[in-house]
């Protein structure tokens, strides 16, 4: 375990030691894992030297039978137990997935998120995604020869709260420490911008297997500032496959029955779509379950005709993003194409026509997201201090609260730079009202029912007052992962309630336990020992960082009393680190952390002042 | 406690509290500040440092949003000078302004009814450029009144809030046409 080798007891911690961190593009069709080695971001390959891992998981009666290429071979033979494109089901209900067209799975309705009935039992999309992440983690640890300290996982910018949280849960279940959830177009911009030393305003057009994002960013000297983002979380390459299948069903009168035929048709459609990128026509033989051999054909012209509407669907979000960014097409310096589906020539043409310029395709559209994520992971893991890279991202969807009449009142508008917090005051509408229900929603529509419901909670214990006298301040806070926490306080009495908005998927205790079991069950690992080891490392790093801070700024920012308090907390932690009690170590870490909060604030104030002093000198030139 | 939230936004960016602002300078300072305080720089720091970074980053974002927008900046300057713009409660407006607003809204609601009309986009773009011109005139007026007549400045902020809502509706109609 590399983690322990670095921080062997009695040895000083080595901050210069390279810490293993990866970027993971958890894609609809394929997933990748990348890392920074000797200053260069590289995609890590599997034992057979393949960069992509198909996002496919196959189950049999004994559990997970295969992940990746081995699973993909079973798509037509065992469609019901071979799950592809699970990303499209993350955080989605059964009504949402019904809109995707004919899929060869036995969906099960469940609160919060749809499930799939397989030979190994009912599986949630979170569990399926966790299997893919676990395979990527193993691939990375094998390639790098050590345990990972963490991962940056990419998500579509247009993913909502439930989809983001589901992704984070899947990563945790796979035993990955999530350093950050990073928006896919932002990751692509990082890879592109750093590679080309680009500066200016760029549009990232990201059409993946199941999702479409458009982000407009300003790039300058290592700062990636997202100005606006938009998209369609239900539009992707998979929809083009469905369009082809529909076309064939209409043209060739055949008796396709059952899930196996549906899977075979989708596979043939995907192949046809891919070959039409370079060929004028595509053809295939499909063996149907009724014994019929079906010969199908598709020309590029036909493909364009049947799928142009899908391509056109990308343009409306692009227009909205530009409007939100208050920019015209002429002000876009470059358009970067991301995602396998942008290989389709008519997508390239539509983008070129709209932006009146040739899109940039000089990075592999399959790899660019993972590369960008790896660059950020490397920085977040602390391998590159004082680097200039700064990502200022936004939330794609407005966050609001239900008010009288089922209306949604926006508290944080879309395209707000994160992290962000905003407070809004509400009041009671009945005399003597002692409780208030708060319903948090996400989306742009006026009516609550048209938006996505995120959470409901209650503020109780409001002192009885006449209607309109209570002052209830509701605070929304969105962190750098785009995840939301909400708190409510009645200001005249100080009564308070809060909730980390965590959409409930209604996972049963059994499901949760099974996910955690499989997450920690690899290679004779003792979960307790690992947790204790990590806690000790954390404690030691905390003491080191505080000692370093005191050495740097203690003389000017701390008085004797402050020093004594901190020294005492350090001593307590040091003594507990030699013990085995996790709870005690945790408490001591927290106590020390709290004892240094004022000091941390003072140091930050000083660094802010420092930053501005530099700017003031510059501004004399302006 | 940790972050001094009483410090005003202009001081935070090291700028003179004035309506006319060097926007490029503001953006430059915003980026310089975020480079110091953004949580990404503290991914390895202890919990106390991470909390402080989060509070600071939120604070810097909020200040930047306020100063960047000509309307929010005007409202904020009035607040610093002790004037509440009462946008939610005070809806009395000069008659000519109201008449003009009604005409604009009527035109907009007509377009909302028939977003598929061939000339809908043209009409919308004309409305938008009218709105832009109107706003621009009010911003100029606001800059003057903030130095001479704060009550009048508050009226202008309320007018601008009207226009902002109108712009939101305009964007919705654009979205309807795009869809």
The model's pLDDT over A144-164, given as tens digits with 9 standing for 90+, comes to: 999 999 999 999 999 998 899
pLDDT band at A349 (very low <50, low <70, confident <90, very high): very high
* pLDDT given for residue A385 in this prediction: 54
Q: Which of A345-349, A494-498, A564-568, A599-603 has the lowest mean pLDDT?
A: A494-498
Q: What average pLDDT does the segment A574-580 reach?
A: 88
* pLDDT given for residue A11 in this prediction: 35
Contact between chains at A619 and B25 (C-beta distance less than 8 A): yes
pLDDT in tens, A218-260: 998 889 999 999 999 889 999 999 999 999 999 998 776 788 8
* pLDDT given for residue A579 in this prediction: 84
The question of whether A410 is a catalytic residue gets the answer no
Q: How far is A376 from chain B (nearest CA, A)?
A: 9
Nearest neighbour of A480 by CB, restricted to B29, B39, B47 = B39
Long-range contacts for B153-159 (Cβ within 8 Å, ≥24 apart)? B153/B74, B153/B78, B153/B83, B154/B78, B154/B83, B154/B84, B154/B85, B154/B86, B155/B93, B155/B94, B156/B74, B157/B71, B157/B74, B157/B75, B157/B78, B157/B85, B157/B87, B158/B85, B158/B86, B158/B87, B158/B90, B158/B93, B159/B93, B159/B97
Q: What average pLDDT does the segment A574-583 reach?
A: 88
Q: Which of A37-51, A334-348, A510-524, A570-584 has the lowest mean pLDDT?
A: A510-524
**A283 CB within 8 Å of a chain B CB:** no
* pLDDT given for residue A2 in this prediction: 33
pLDDT of A54 over the 60 cut: yes
pLDDT of A618 over the 50 cut: no
Among A198, A153, A197, A145, residue whose Cα is nearest residue A175: A153
Chain B, residues 10-29, CB within 8 A of chain A, namely: 13-14, 22, 24-25, 28-29
**A605 CB within 8 Å of a chain B CB:** yes
Q: How far is A320 from chain B (nearest CA, A)?
A: 7
Contacts of residue A477 in chain B, CB cutoff 8 Å?
Answer: 58
Q: Which of A161, A206, A213, A393 is flagged as catalytic?
A: A206
Contacts of residue A380 in chain B, CB cutoff 8 Å?
Answer: 40, 43-44
* Percentage with pLDDT > 70 across chain A: 90
* Percentage with pLDDT > 90 across chain A: 58
Q: Which of A94-103, A501-510, A538-547, B62-71 has the lowest mean pLDDT?
A: A501-510
Q: What average pLDDT does the segment A575-579 reach?
A: 88
Q: What average pLDDT does the segment A465-492 reach?
A: 89
pLDDT in tens, A11-41: 334 445 788 999 999 999 999 999 999 889 9
pLDDT in tens, A415-430: 999 999 999 888 888 8
Q: What average pLDDT does the segment A555-564 reach?
A: 90
pLDDT of A502 over the 80 cut: no
Task: Note if the bond before A419 is cis, omega within 30 degrees.
Answer: yes
Mean pLDDT per 10-residue segment, chain B (179 residues): 64 90 90 91 85 92 94 95 86 86 88 81 88 93 95 94 90 81
The question of whether A184 is a catalytic residue gets the answer yes
Pair B19, B67: CB distance under 8 Å: no
Among A494, A429, A484, residue whose Cα is nearest residue A463: A494
Provide the ipTM. 0.89
Write the CA distances from A12 to A15, A107, A380, A544, integer angstroms.
9, 53, 22, 9
| Mean pLDDT estimate for chain A | 87
* pLDDT given for residue A33 in this prediction: 98
pLDDT in tens, A600-611: 888 888 887 777
* pLDDT given for residue A14 in this prediction: 47
Contact between chains at B48 and A597 (C-beta distance less than 8 A): yes
């Amino acid at each position: 375990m590399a983690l322990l080798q670095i921080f062997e007891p009695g040895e000083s911690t080595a901050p210069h030691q390279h810490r293993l961190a990866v970027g993971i593009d958890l894609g609809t069709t394929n997933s990748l894992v990348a890392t920074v080695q000797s200053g260069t971001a590289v995609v890590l390959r599997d034992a057979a030297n393949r960069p992509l891992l198909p996002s496919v998981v196959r189950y049999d009666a004994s559990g997970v039978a295969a992940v990746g290429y081995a699973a993909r071979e079973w798509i037509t033979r065992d469609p019901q137990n071979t799950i592809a494109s699970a990303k499209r089901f993350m955080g989605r209900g059964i009504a949402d997935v019904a809109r995707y067209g004919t899929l060869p799975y036995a969906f099960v309705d469940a609160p919060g998120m749809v499930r799939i009935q397989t030979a190994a039992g009912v599986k949630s999309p979170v569990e399926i995604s966790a299997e893919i992440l676990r395979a990527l983690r193993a691939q990375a640890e094998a390639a790098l020869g050590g345990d990972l300290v963490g991962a940056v996982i990419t998500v579509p910018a247009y993913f909502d709260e439930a989809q983001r949280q589901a992704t984070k849960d899947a990563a945790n279940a796979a035993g990955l420490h999530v350093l950050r959830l990073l928006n896919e177009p932002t990751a692509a911009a990082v890879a592109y911008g750093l590679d080309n030393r680009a500066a200016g305003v760029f549009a990232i057009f990201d059409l993946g297997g199941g999702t479409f994002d458009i982000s407009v960013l300003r790039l300058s000297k290592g700062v990636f500032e997202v100005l606006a983002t938009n998209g369609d979380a239900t539009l992707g390459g998979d929809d083009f496959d469905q369009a082809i299948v529909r076309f064939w069903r209409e043209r060739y009168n055949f008796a396709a029955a059952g899930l196996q035929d549906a899977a075979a048709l989708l596979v043939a459609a995907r192949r046809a779509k891919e070959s039409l990128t370079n060929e004028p026509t595509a053809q295939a033989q499909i063996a149907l379950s009724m014994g019929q051999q079906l010969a199908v054909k598709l020309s590029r012209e036909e493909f364009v005709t049947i799928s142009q509407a899908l391509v056109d669907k990308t343009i409306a979000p692009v227009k909205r993003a530009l409007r939100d960014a208050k920019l015209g097409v002429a002000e876009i310096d470059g358009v970067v194409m991301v995602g396998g589906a942008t290989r389709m020539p008519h997508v390239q043409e539509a983008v070129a026509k709209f932006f009146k310029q040739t899109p940039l395709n000089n990075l592999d559209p399959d790899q660019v997201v993972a590369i960008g994520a790896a660059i950020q992971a490397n920085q977040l893991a602390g391998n590159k201090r004082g680097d200039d890279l700064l990502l200022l991202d936004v939330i794609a969807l407005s966050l609001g609260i239900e008010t009288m009449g089922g209306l949604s009142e926006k508290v944080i508008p879309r395209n707000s730079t994160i992290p962000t917090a905003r407070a809004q005051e509400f009041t009671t509408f009945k005399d003597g009202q002692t409780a208030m229900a708060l319903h948090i929603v996400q989306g742009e529509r006026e009516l609550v029912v048209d938006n996505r419901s995120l959470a409901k909670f209650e503020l109780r214990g409001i002192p009885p007052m006449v209607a309109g006298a209570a002052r209830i301040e509701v605070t929304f806070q969105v962190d750098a992962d785009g995840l939301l926490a909400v708190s409510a306080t009645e200001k005249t009495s100080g009564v308070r309630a809060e909730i980390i908005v965590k959409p409930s998927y209604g996972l049963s205790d059994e499901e949760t336990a099974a996910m955690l079991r499989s997450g920690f069950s690899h290679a004779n690992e003792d979960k307790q020992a690992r947790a204790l080891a990590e806690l000790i490392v954390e404690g030691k790093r905390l003491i080191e960082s505080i000692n370093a801070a005191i050495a740097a700024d203690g003389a000017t920012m701390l008085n004797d009393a402050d020093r004594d308090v901190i020294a005492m907390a350090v001593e307590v932690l040091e003594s507990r680190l030699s013990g085995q009690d996790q709870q005690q170590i945790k408490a001591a870490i927290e106590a020390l952390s709290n004892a240094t909060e004022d000091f941390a604030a003072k140091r930050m104030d000083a660094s802010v002042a420092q930053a501005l002093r530099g700017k003031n000198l510059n501004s004399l030139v302006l | 406690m940790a972050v001094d939230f009483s410090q005003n936004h202009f001081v935070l960016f090291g700028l003179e509290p004035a309506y006319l602002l060097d926007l490029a300078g503001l953006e430059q300072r915003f980026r310089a500040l975020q480079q110091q305080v953004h949580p990404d720089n503290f991914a390895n720091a202890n919990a106390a440092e991470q909390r402080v970074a989060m509070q600071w980053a939120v604070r810097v974002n909020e200040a930047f949003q306020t100063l960047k927008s000509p309307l929010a900046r005007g409202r904020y300057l009035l607040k610093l000078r002790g004037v509440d713009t009462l946008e939610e409660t005070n809806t009395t407006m000069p008659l000519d302004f109201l008449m003009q607003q009604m005409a604009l809204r009527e035109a907009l609601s007509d377009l909302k009814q028939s977003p598929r009309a061939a000339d809908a986009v043209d009409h919308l773009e004309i409305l938008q450029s009218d709105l832009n011109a109107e706003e621009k005139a009010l911003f100029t007026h606001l800059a003057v009144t903030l130095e001479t007549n704060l009550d009048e400045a508050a009226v202008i902020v309320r007018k601008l809030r009207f226009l902002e809502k109108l712009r939101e509706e305009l964007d919705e109609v654009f979205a309807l046409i795009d869809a």
